Amino acid sequence: MAQLLDGKQLSKTIQEEFKQEVQEFNTKGLKIPHLAAVLVGDNPASQSYIRNKIKSCERVGFQSTLIKKEADITEEALLEVIKELNANEEIDGYIVQLPLPKHISEDRINLAIEPDKDVDGFHPMNLGKMTLGLDTFIPATPFGIMTMLDRYNIPTSGKNCVVIGRSNIVGTPMSILLSRNNKVGNCTVTLTHSRTKDLKALTLEADIIVAAIGRANFLTADMIKEGAVIIDVGINRVDDASRKRGYRLVGDVDFAALEPKASYITPVPGGVGPMTVTSLLYNTLKACKRKH
Ligand code: NAD
């Protein structure tokens, strides 16, 4: 039976460390970290992610500001919001919750974010630094996964790793981080995607699998080898009449079937999700400390 990689518990532990640091800042009269979040429109998943991020800020003693805009805001008006956030000395870092409405270019918005305040780590300057192994903000989800592998002492050096999904925010940075020559890293990484031929042949050889596809129960037990480490990034809503809200959240991994076969596995919810929020807090703390 696999050991659970309990992102919820680990997040609590790490966030407690942040809280103590903030208390020290208070004692020393130093600036407290301040995160701003921009939410455009009323996508229920985005609203829930943002609520979580703001609540976590409160828990660790960070300041937070939520900026809500209607779905029909123009790109120019949103760029104006970005400009103000870049100029606001009080705010250490900010995020623009994705996805944005179709009429707004996510690339244009991303490029307008001041790299020193880009705590999501999506700006090309920060992604470039990450690729070169320079000090920077690492995108929250891959960073959360690296932290998890580190804190659970999971060996990565020389391991075969298959990342499923090549998004700019998860799969691609994940593949770079795992292949770098670092304490957690030195994997031989295969980055797979929708055009990959015979995915199962690749996953069957993998010591570590990171699934970031966005399809419920995509990775099945026949696709993994005995003792593999399974990291499930997916967050998918499936209908469930027994729940008050009418759905439940499941990952990209068939958890029940994989748990007996894997060595370590992340649950959904309670695995990668909380670690993502914790990494965002880490980046905000880092941005603030740069100013001290
Ligand atoms: P995305 O939706 O941008 O892209 C999905 C990727 O899956 C693409 O690269 C595509 O090539 C690949 N893919 C699709 N079908 C495939 C197939 N049959 N075989 C192999 N690859 C295939 O991905 P994303 O934004 O990285 O999100 C992925 C999932 O992770 C979603 O469920 C999302 O909600 C979730 N997510 C979770 C967190 C978290 O904090 N837990 C953070 C970000 C995203």
Residue nearest to atom 18 of ligand 1 (CA): 194
Q: 29-114 with 140-273: one CATH topology? A: yes
pLDDT-derived band at 17 (thresholds 50, 70, 90) equals very high
Q: What is the mean pLDDT of the chain?
A: 97
pLDDT for the residue 276: 97
Q: Whose CA is nearest to atom 40 of ligand 1?
A: 273
Domain ranges of the chain: 29-114, 140-273
The closest-lying atom of ligand 1 relative to the alpha carbon of residue 236 is 32
What is the fold of 140-273? Rossmann fold (3.40.50)
- Give residue-wise pLDDT tens across range 241-287: 999 999 999 999 999 999 999 999 999 999 999 999 999 999 999 99
Segment 203-216 mean pLDDT: 98
**What is the pTM for the complete model shown?**
0.97
pLDDT at 271: 98
DSSP string over the chain: -PEE--HHHHHHHHHHHHHHHHHHHHHHTPPPPEEEEEEES--HHHHHHHHHHHHHHHHHT-EEEEEEE-TT--HHHHHHHHHHHHH-TT--EEEEPSPPPTTS-HHHHHHHS-GGGBTT--SHHHHHHHHHT-S-PPPHHHHHHHHHHHHTT---TT-EEEEE---TTTHHHHHHHHHSSSSS---EEEEE-TT-S-HHHHHTT-SEEEE-S--TT-B-GGGS-TT-EEEE---EEEE-TTSTTSEEEE-SB-HHHHTTT-SEE--SSSSHHHHHHHHHHHHHHHHHHHH-
Task: Let me know if 254 is a catalytic residue.
Answer: no
**Res 101: pLDDT:** 97
pLDDT tens digits for range 134-159 = 999 999 999 999 999 999 999 999 99
Give yes or no: 6 in active site. no
Catalytic residue among 120, 207, 232, 252: 120
> Is 15 among the catalytic positions?
no
Going by alpha carbons, the residue nearest to atom 12 of ligand 1 is 165
Query: How many A from CA of 212 to the centre of ligand 1?
Result: 4
pLDDT band (50, 70, 90) for residue 239: very high
CA of 109 to the centre of ligand 1 (A): 21
Instruction: Give the model's confidence band at 15: pLDDT under 50 very low, under 70 low, under 90 confident, else very high.
Output: very high
- In this predicted model, what pLDDT tens digit does every residue of 20-74 receive, in sequence order? 999 999 999 999 999 999 999 999 999 999 999 999 999 999 999 999 999 999 9
Catalytic residue among 15, 63, 97, 207: 97
Query: For ligand 1, atom 5, which residue shows the shortest CA distance?
Result: 213
Under CATH, which architecture does the 29-114 domain have? 3-Layer(aba) Sandwich (3.40)
Residue 109's pLDDT band, with cuts at 50, 70 and 90, is very high
Give the per-residue pLDDT at 126. 98
Residues in contact with ligand 1 by the CB-under-6-Å rule are: 141, 164-167, 169-171, 192-194, 196, 199, 212-214, 233-236, 272-273, 276
